[in-house]
């Protein structure tokens, strides 16, 4: 009897929390509570593994941590899957320019476009909004600093190939605080080589800037210019330009060839960027890109794709360490698209790439860490694919990135978290 009365009392008490009575004795809903304020996000570190689909992440994980291991980019509390299609009228399969522009602006566009819409009109980027709000901003990459992915966050042009124009926009219009990566050739005019000599084995290398000597221009605008790991380590000040290669900071070639040995590692560039940007009391917005995952996937070079991915994961570790001591920091790890149509398979006697009935190019076998097992990598294309790509997140607001969504949704969530704007 007592138990029944107690249960009834508990039921009435529970209902009374969610209901009130009007004058007619009918139950009505209680007044809705005010919507919760978005989490406070002071800093954003977005790490982009260019071309890094699910298979690339798994190959890097198997080679580094083993079957049951987790990469730094995996051990994050929230995950999502991104649709990558562009709005290009000729092909919905995106390039890096359109994909990064969608993430940076929240607007899909055509392949080759750098943060302009289908009519060629500039669209403000999330990095530009952060700058306007008083935050420090940074771009770090192993590609040319003016390549498509970093460019989409800090420049506007109808054609991604206008890299000297992009460089000029960085320092004169967007005023990015920290710029670290390759691509020295686009900062110096033709006939005026910079610090890194042109290599005979790569005919594409050579100064080709069209906006004068932009390195000297950057110095006049207050940037500290560095060219080596030692110079980067010693650099002081809040405006930093570092160019560490003629073009990319690696040599892209097919399997068994090429080099991935940047003169400054991606983790070191990431740490330096955070050290400089974090001096701003209003926070910062930093984009970090590992380009070699994409380029090695284009060349079906599994060995160097994995090596680049391992360095990328170390850069993720740098970002996570900072975020753990600064809980107002949001860390995102994602890709702009997938490259190579990669699959992971058990090694067999036959190499499928030798079968005239398939389009496969096979690499391996590769050792699975902490195991006697091995795996092979099979590529189905040297181009991009429409495969969805994974995202992992930690920090304030990270749970909003769980689910399956278009790449433009990333921009919209960031606008809400950083500036309180309503999601589209």
Task: Catalogue the active-site residues.
Answer: 96
- Identify the sign of the CA torsion 79, 92, 155, 119: negative
Instruction: Measure the CA–CA gap between 1 and 212, rounded to whole angstroms.
Output: 91
Q: Which residues pair with 225 in a beta bridge?
A: 241
Binding-site positions = 50, 147, 149, 289, 294, 298, 336-337, 384
Exposure string over 75-106, b if 16+ CB within 10 A, otherwise e? ebebbbebbbbbbbeeeebbbbbbbbbbbbbb
Q: Which of 7, 11, 27, 9 is nearest to 19 (CA)?
A: 27
Residue 116 has what DSSP assignment? Answer: B
| Strand arrangement, sheet containing 43-49 | 224-226, 240-243, 178-182, 136-144, 284-290, 43-49, 329-334, 389-394, 78-83, 403-406
Q: Which of 93, 84, 86 is nearest to 110 (CA)?
A: 86
Instruction: Measure the CA–CA gap between 67 and 119, rounded to whole angstroms.
Output: 48
Question: How many residues would you count in the chain?
Answer: 424
Instruction: Measure the CA–CA gap between 416 and 400, rounded to whole angstroms.
Output: 10
Angle at 348 between CA 344 and CA 350, to 5 degrees: 110
Q: Do β-strands 284-290 and 136-144 pair in parallel, antiparallel, or remain unpaired?
A: parallel
Binding-site positions for Zn(2+) = 50, 294, 298, 336-337, 384
Binding-site positions for Mg(2+) = 50, 147, 149, 289
């Amino acid at each position: 009897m007592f138990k029944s009365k107690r249960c009834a009392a508990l039921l009435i008490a529970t209902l009374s929390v969610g209901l009130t009575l009007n004058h007619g004795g009918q139950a009505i809903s209680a007044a809705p509570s005010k919507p919760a304020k978005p989490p406070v996000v002071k800093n954003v570190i977005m790490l982009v593994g260019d071309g890094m689909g699910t298979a690339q992440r798994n190959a890097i994980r198997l080679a580094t941590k083993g079957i049951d291991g987790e990469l730094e980019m995996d051990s994050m509390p929230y995950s999502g899957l991104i649709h990558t299609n562009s709005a290009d009228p000729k092909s919905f399969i995106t390039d890096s320019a359109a994909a990064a522009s969608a993430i940076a602006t929240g607007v899909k566009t055509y392949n080759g476009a750098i943060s302009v819409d289908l009519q060629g009109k500039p669209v403000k980027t999330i990095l530009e909004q952060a700058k306007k709000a008083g935050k420090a901003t940074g771009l770090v990459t192993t590609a040319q600093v003016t390549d498509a992915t970093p460019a989409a966050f800090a420049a506007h042009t109808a054609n991604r190939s206008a890299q000297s124009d992009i460089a000029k926009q960085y320092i004169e219009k967007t005023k990015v605080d920290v710029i670290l990566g390759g691509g020295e050739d686009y900062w110096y005019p033709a006939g005026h080589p910079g610090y890194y000599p042109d290599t005979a084995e790569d005919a594409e290398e050579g100064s080709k800037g069209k906006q004068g000597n932009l390195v000297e221009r950057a110095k006049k605008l207050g940037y500290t210019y560095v060219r080596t790991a030692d110079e980067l380590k010693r650099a002081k000040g809040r405006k930093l330009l570092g160019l560490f290669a003629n073009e990319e900071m690696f040599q892209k070639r097919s399997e068994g060839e090429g080099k991935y040995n940047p003169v400054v590692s991606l983790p070191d560039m990431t740490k330096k960027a955070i050290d400089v940007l974090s001096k701003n009391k209003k926070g910062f917005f930093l984009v970090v890109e590992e380009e070699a995952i994409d380029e090695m996937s284009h060349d079906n070079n599994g060995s160097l794709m994995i090596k680049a991915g391992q360095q990328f994961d170390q850069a993720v570790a740098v970002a996570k360490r900072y975020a753990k001591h600064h809980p107002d920091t949001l860390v995102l790890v994602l890709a702009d698209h997938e490259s190579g149509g990669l699959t992971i398979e058990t090694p067999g006697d036959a190499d499928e790439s030798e079968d005239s009935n398939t389009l496969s190019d096979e690499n391996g076998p590769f050792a699975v860490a902490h195991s006697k097992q091995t795996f092979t990598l099979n590529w189905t294309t040297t181009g991009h694919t429409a495969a969805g790509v994974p995202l992992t997140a930690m920090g304030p607001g990270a749970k909003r990135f769980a689910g399956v969504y278009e790449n433009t949704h990333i921009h919209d969530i960031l606008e809400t978290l950083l500036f309180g704007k309503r999601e589209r």
